[in-house]
Chains A and B, each alone.
Chain A
Amino acid sequence: MFEIKGRFGVHGGQYIPETLMNAVIELEEAYNRYKDDPEFNRELIELYNEYANRPSRLYYAERLTKELGGAKIYLKREDLNHTGAHKINNCLGQALLAKKMGKTRLIAETGAGQHGVATATVAALMGMECVVFMGKEDMERQALNVYKMRLLGSEVVPVTTGTGTLKDAVSEAMREWTRRISDTHYCLGSVMGPHPFPTIVRDFQAIISREIKEQMLEKEGRLPDAVIACVGGGSNAIGSFYHFIGDKDVRLIGCEAAGRGIDTFETAATINTGRLGIFHGMKSYFCQNEYGQIAPVYSISAGLDYPGVGPEHAYLHDIGRAEYVAITDDEAVDAFEYVSRAEGIIPAIESSHALAYAKKLAPTLSKDKIIVVTVSGRGDKDCAAIARYRGEDISE
C-alpha cells in the first residue's frame, strides 16, 4: 500500500553489492509470480495449518487483565506455533518460494536462534541443505537452539567478526550469499535488508494481523484499541500491525529494546536513539556514531540486539502511524516473570518487551478498551539466561 519500487517513504531500497543484484531481481520476479498464485497459496496455507499449527490462538488473558485493572488484554499466541515462535510463518513462505525457484540450499542469520531453528526446520521438512550464521556470543547465550539446529541437520557457523551478534550474522550471511548464489536462497529472518525482503517477509508475517482481526471481530465484535509487539528488525510487529494500518483508530505500538536505558550506550532502541543511514541493503534508522560507523548495540534479548530497524517501521514512525517505545532489560525481565506467574505462559524475552509495555499501558486505560499483545515466541530458551540475570546459575 505504501511501497513504490521497494521504498517506504525515503526508506528501503537495494544497497547491496552488484554481485547480488540479479539474485534479488530474480527473487522479486519469482515472488511477484507466486504471491497471488492459488496453488502456491493453497500449499502455504496447508503448511501453516497442518504443520505449523495455525491459526494461533487469540487468548483473553483474564488474570492479567484483572490484576492490572484497566484495559482488556488479549495475547496473540505466536508462541504456540511449531518451533515456538512467529519465525516459522516467514520460513515456510520463503522456503516454498525458494523451492519453486529451483534452489536447493538455504542460508540464514539468527540472533536468539529462533529464526535459525525455524529455517533449519523447514529445510529438514523440504529436504534442503541449510547453513545458519550465528554470532559467537549468541551461540553461548542460546546453546540449546544451536543444538536444535544441528539436530535438524543444519550447519551452524559461528560468527566472530564485529560484535559477534545478530548484525554480524547478517553481514556473514550476505557475504556467503555473494559467494554462492546459483543454488542458494538467503532466507532473511526479518523485515529488513534489500528490497524485496522487507515486503516478502511482511507479507508472510501478515497472517498474524489477519487472524487477530478475524478473531477479535468474532470474540468482541469490534477492532482492538491497540496492538503491541516487540521490534528488533520488526517482523512480528509488522505482521501484527499490517492489516490494521488502514484502521486509524487502532494504535500500533512497537517496543524496542532499551537495554540498560536509552540514555546509555548499552541500548538497541534504534528508532528512539538512531538516525537515518544506509546499511544491510536498506535506508532506515540505525544506531551509529557521527561518522556513520555502526554502533555496537546491546540488549538482554539476542533477538532484539540489532542496530537497525525494518524500513516500513521507519516509515510508520515518520508518518506517525505507529508509536515506538523503549523497554529496558529490567522491565522486560519483570514482565517475563510477571506473565509467567499471572497466566502460566512463559513468554520469550523478546516478547516480554511488548508485555512490559502492556503492563504499563493497560492500567491507564478504561475497562472498555481492548489491547492485543503479540507473544512472538515462547520463553523456554531464555530461562537459563534470566536465571543468570537474577544471580542464579542453572544448567540446562
Chain B
Amino acid sequence: MSRITEAFKDHKAFIPFITCGDPDLETTRACVLEMVKNGADIIELGIPFSDPTAEGPVIMEADNRALKSGVTTDKIFEFTKELRKEVDVPFLYMTYANVVFSYGTEKFMKAASEAGVSGLILPDVPYEEKGDFEEICDRYGVELISMITPASNDRIRMIAKEAKGYIYVVSSLGVTGERSDITADIGSMVKLVKENTDVPCAVGFGISSPEQAGSMAALSDGAIVGSSIVKIVAEEGANAPQKVGALVKAMSDAVHKAS
C-alpha cells in the first residue's frame, strides 16, 4: 500500500491545500505545521503557476502573490525537504504541466522524490496525456493523481482502472472556489469508481464548510479543501496559521466522523 493510500486506512481523510510562498514560505511552513497538528491526513502543496487555467480567483491570486514574493520551483523543493524533517503526513505537489515539463520532467520528479513528496496533481494533464509524466513519476515513486468530474461520464471507468494514490473527484463543473451547493451526483460517481478500483476517492472543488466536508466525505473516502484555506491566507497574511489551524480542525473532525 502506498504512503498516500495508507492515509485512508483508519478513517476518511482530510486533505487541505495551500499555495507555497503565499505570501512567503515562512507563512506556508507555519500553516502546514498547524494543518498537521489539527488533523490533516495528506497535504497538497501548490507550486504557483502564472496562468492557472483550472483555478478560480482565490487560488489564481494566491499564485500571483507567491510568484511576486519570488518563490521558485527550486526554492519550493528546498522548503519541502526541510519541512519533511518536521512533518510525517504525505505531501503532494499540485501544479501545472508546464512547471514540471519546463523544469525537465525527470529532474522535477527526482527533486520531488528527494524532498519526500509522494504524489503529484496536474489539472491540465488528462488521461490521454498522462503517459509522458506517469512513466517518470512511477520511476521516482511519485504517484500521479487522476481526476474525474461530473462531465467525465463514461470516462470514469477507464480513468479509475489506472488510478494511483487517490482519485480526485471534482465536485462540480467549473474552476476551483467555494460553492454554497454541490449538486452533482457524487454518490454515483464514487460508485462507478469503486466498481473498477480499490483506490480511495476524495472529493474537492467548492467545499467551504465543515458540514460540506463531512457530507462529501460521507459519500466518498475523504475531502479536499483549497480555496477556503487560501482565502484565510489572503486575508490574514502572516497571521493566518492559527486561523488555518482552526478551520482544518473543524473540517478534519467533520471528515473523520463521517461514515
Name A's B-contacting residues (CB within 8 A): 13-23, 161-162, 167-168, 171, 174-175, 178-181, 275-281, 283, 286, 288, 290-294
Q: How far is the CA of A288 from the CA of B152 in the complex (A)?
A: 32
| Other 7 A-B pairs with CB < 8 A, given A16-B126, A21-B155 | A13-B128, A18-B127, A18-B151, A18-B152, A162-B51, A178-B174, A292-B73
Considering the complex, which residues of chain B in the window 90-121 have a beta carbon less than 8 Å from any beta carbon of chain A?
Answer: 96-103
How far does the alpha carbon of A283 sit from the alpha carbon of B136 in the complex, in Å?
Answer: 18
Cβ–Cβ contact A279 & B173, under 8 A: no
Contact across chains for B49 and A161 when beta carbons are under 8 A apart: no
Q: What CA separation (Å) do A279 and B53 show in the bound complex?
A: 9
Q: Given A291-B102, A292-B99: A17 and B123 within 8 A (CB)?
A: yes
B96 CB contacts on chain A under 8 angstroms: 278
Question: How distant is B25 from chain A, measured CB to nearest CB, in Å?
Answer: 15
Give the docked Cα–Cα distance between A281 and B99 (Å).
14
Q: A17-B124, A278-B97, A292-B99 are in contact. Are A181 and B173 (CB under 8 A)?
A: yes
Q: Taking each of A16, A174, A293, which has the highest tally of chain B beta carbons within 10 Å of its own beta carbon?
A: A293
B54 sits at the interface (CB 8 A):
yes
Q: Pick from B50, B124, B128, B159: contact of A162, CB below 8 A.
A: B50
Q: Could you say which residues of chain A place their CB within 8 Å of the CB of B218?
A: none
In-complex Cβ contact of B170 among A18, A171, A276, A292 (8 A): A18
Distance of A278 Cα from B100 Cα, bound (Å): 9
Closest residue on chain B to residue A22 by CB atoms: B151
Q: Give B234 Cβ to nearest chain A Cβ, in Å.
A: 15
- If A162-B50, A179-B173 touch, whether A21 touches B152 (CB-CB below 8 Å) is yes
In Å, the complex CA distance between A13 and B125 comes to: 10
A167 cross-chain contacts in B, Cβ below 8 A: 51
Question: Could you say which interface size class chain B belongs to?
Answer: 35 or more
Return chain B residues, CB-CB under 8 Å to A277. 98, 101-102
- Please provide the 10 A-B residue pairs with the shortest distance between their CB atoms, ordered closest to farther: A292-B102, A179-B174, A278-B97, A293-B50, A292-B98, A19-B149, A294-B50, A18-B147, A278-B98, A17-B54
> B175, A175: Cβ atoms under 8 Å?
yes
How many A-B contacts are there with CB distance less than 8 Å? Answer: 114
A-B contact pairs, 7 of them (CB 8 A): A15-B125, A17-B126, A21-B127, A171-B53, A278-B124, A291-B99, A292-B103
Cβ-defined contact, A291 with B174, below 8 A:
no
Asked whether any CB of chain A lies closer than 8 Å to the CB of B209, the reply is no
Q: Are A22 and B153 in contact (CB under 8 A)?
A: yes
Check A292–B147 contact: CB distance below 8 A. no
Q: Which residues of B contact A168 (CB under 8 A)?
A: 51
Query: Across the two chains, which residue of chain A brings its CB closest to B49?
Result: A293
- Tell me whether A21 and B51 are in contact (CB under 8 A): no
Asked if B219 lies at the interface with its beta carbon under 8 angstroms from chain A, I say no
Contact B53 A23 (CB under 8 A): no
Return chain A residues, CB-CB under 8 Å to B174. Answer: 19, 175, 178-179
Measured in the bound complex, the distance between the Cα atoms of B123 and A15 in whole Å is: 9
Given contacts A15-B125, A19-B149, A292-B103, are A280 and B53 in contact (CB under 8 A)?
A: yes
Cα distance, A9 to B50, chains bound together (Å):
27
Assembled-state Cα–Cα distance A181/B172 (Å): 12
Q: Does the CB pair B102–A19 fall under 8 Å?
A: no
Residue B197 lies at the interface, judged by CB distance under 8 Å to chain A? no
- Which chain A positions have C-beta within 8 A of B60? 161
With A14-B128, A171-B51, A280-B53 already in contact, the answer to whether A179 and B98 are too (CB < 8 A) is no
With A161-B60, A175-B53, A291-B72 as contacts: A15 and B127 at CB distance below 8 Å: no
8 Å CB contact of A293 from B57, B67, B101: B67
**Is B153 a contact of A278 with CB atoms below 8 Å?**
no
A23→B126 CA distance, assembly (Å): 13
User: Using Cβ atoms and an 8 Å threshold, which residues of chain A touch B195?
Assistant: none
B148 contacts partner chain A, Cβ-Cβ < 8 Å: yes
Closest to B124 in A: A15
Contact B97 A15 (CB under 8 A): yes
- Point out which of B51, B99, B155, B170 has the most chain A C-beta atoms below 10 A from its C-beta: B51
What is the bound-complex CA distance between A19 and B170, given in angstroms? 9
- Does B129 belong to the interface (CB within 8 Å)? yes
